[in-house]
């Protein structure tokens, strides 16, 4: 039989949920449970926090489903009453996230995402080449467990700039293997040198092999990805020094 939350936990959870909801643009369903008591809460302590949501939208990025679990945390209790959550100590959390194909395509056009997409700096036979991703990038999730990306990119070479179309197939991270780039194909009629292609693939390989992604001070590690027809499931671990401003 599941343990019923105490009244003090319910009150604290409702206050924390209200603070979180105020920072979201939309949420079809959102539940937040804090494991603590009045004494701990007054000291800004909690044993754990779990968050479950559906259709959550923040900064125009939609998540179909999410389940987040934290370890013990230390926070400023006054911040919750003011509609924020400020940590006194870094926090570790795990998350399971589901995004639909439509969610991913919406995210690829959101300013919060496009601003974080870096230009690639290549060295092709001693000459610098910058690859700047164009918008929009189309994402497909076929039933074969792969991720497809189609779009355009600007190649800045010496004093010239040209646009090329591309199609990329990515094999997601699993328990047995890291993220891999299966194929990179340019739009018919676009000629890229073998040296450029090698430099580009090597850069992709280095990016995909990074142990974690840093976003607003948070270190996020992707542990596992699973592709279902039209849906991406992601399991992550995160080290959070401070809650980001949404």
pLDDT tens sequence across 28-62: 999 888 888 778 877 888 888 899 999 999 889 99
pLDDT of residue 3: 58
- Maximum distance among all Cα pairs of the chain, rounded to whole angstroms: 70
Interval 93-117 mean pLDDT: 90
- Residue 189's contacts (CB-CB under 8 Å, 6 or more residues apart) are none
Alpha-carbon distance of 222 to 175, in angstroms, equals: 11
pLDDT of residue 64: 96
SS (H, E, C) 89-125: CCEEEEEEEEEEHHHHHHHCCCHHHHCCCCCEEEEEC
pLDDT at 245 over 70: no
pLDDT of residue 63: 94
Task: Provide φ and ψ at 28, rounded to 5°.
Answer: -65, -35
Chain-wide mean pLDDT for the chain? 82
The C-alpha angle 114, 115, 116, rounded to 5 degrees, equals 90
**Helix/strand/coil for 87:** strand
Highest-scoring range by mean pLDDT, 65-69, 136-140, 171-175, 186-190:
65-69
Alpha-carbon distance of 198 to 41, in angstroms, equals: 55
Q: Could you tell me which residue, 172 or 233, shows the higher pLDDT? A: 233
DSSP state of 75: B
Least confident of 87-91, 100-104, 205-209: 205-209
Alpha-carbon distance of 32 to 24, in angstroms, equals: 14
pLDDT at 111 over 50: yes
Q: From the CB of residue 243, how many other CB atoms can be counted at a distance below 10 Å?
A: 20
Alpha-carbon distance of 191 to 115, in angstroms, equals: 29
Question: Helical H runs in the chain?
Answer: 7-21, 38-42, 77-81, 101-107, 111-114, 194-208
Alpha-carbon distance of 62 to 103, in angstroms, equals: 6
Under 8 Å between Cβ of 215 and 203:
no
pLDDT of residue 59: 85
Interval 217-243 mean pLDDT: 87
Interval 147-165 mean pLDDT: 87
pLDDT of residue 100: 95
pLDDT of residue 69: 94
Two tokens, residue 9: 């936990």
Q: Could you tell me which residue, 81 or 154, shows the higher pLDDT? A: 154
Interval 8-19 mean pLDDT: 70
- Residue 153's contacts (CB-CB under 8 Å, 6 or more residues apart) are 131, 132, 133, 134, 163, 164, 166
pLDDT of residue 1: 44
Least confident of 20-29, 64-73, 172-181: 172-181
pLDDT at 87 over 90: no
pLDDT of residue 32: 86
- Spell out a b/e string for 194-220, using b for 16 or more CB atoms within 10 Å of the CB, else e: eebeebbeeebeeeeeeeeeeeeebbe
Q: Could you tell me which residue, 191 or 183, shows the higher pLDDT? A: 183
**Helix/strand/coil for 131:** strand
Interval 125-139 mean pLDDT: 87
pLDDT of residue 170: 87
- pLDDT per residue over 195-215, tens digit each? 777 787 777 777 777 777 887
pLDDT at 191 over 80: no
């Amino acid at each position: 039989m599941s343990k019923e939350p105490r009244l003090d936990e319910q009150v604290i959870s409702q206050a924390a949920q209200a603070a979180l909801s105020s920072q979201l643009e939309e949420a079809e369903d959102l539940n937040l449970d804090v494991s603590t008591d009045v004494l701990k809460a007054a000291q800004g302590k909690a044993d754990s926090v779990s968050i479950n949501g559906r259709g959550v939208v923040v900064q125009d990025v939609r998540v179909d489903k999410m389940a987040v679990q934290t370890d013990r945390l230390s926070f400023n209790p006054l911040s919750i009453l003011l509609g924020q959550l400020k940590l006194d100590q870094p926090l570790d959390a795990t998350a399971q996230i589901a995004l639909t194909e439509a969610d991913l395509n919406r995210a690829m056009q959101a300013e919060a995402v496009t601003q974080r997409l870096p230009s690639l700096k290549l060295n092709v036979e001693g000459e610098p080449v910058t690859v700047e991703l164009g918008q929009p990038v189309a994402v497909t999730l076929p039933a074969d467990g792969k991720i497809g990306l189609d779009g355009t990119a600007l190649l800045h070479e010496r004093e010239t700039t040209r646009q090329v179309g591309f199609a990329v197939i990515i094999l997601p991270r699993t328990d047995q293997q890291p993220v891999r780039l299966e194929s990179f194909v340019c739009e018919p009629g676009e000629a890229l040198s073998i040296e450029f292609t090698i430099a580009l693939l090597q850069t992709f390989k280095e990016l995909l092999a990074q142990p974690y992604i840093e976003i607003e001070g948070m270190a996020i590690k992707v542990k596992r990805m699973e592709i279902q027809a039209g849906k991406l499931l992601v399991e992550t671990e995160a080290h959070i020094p401070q809650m980001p401003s949404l």
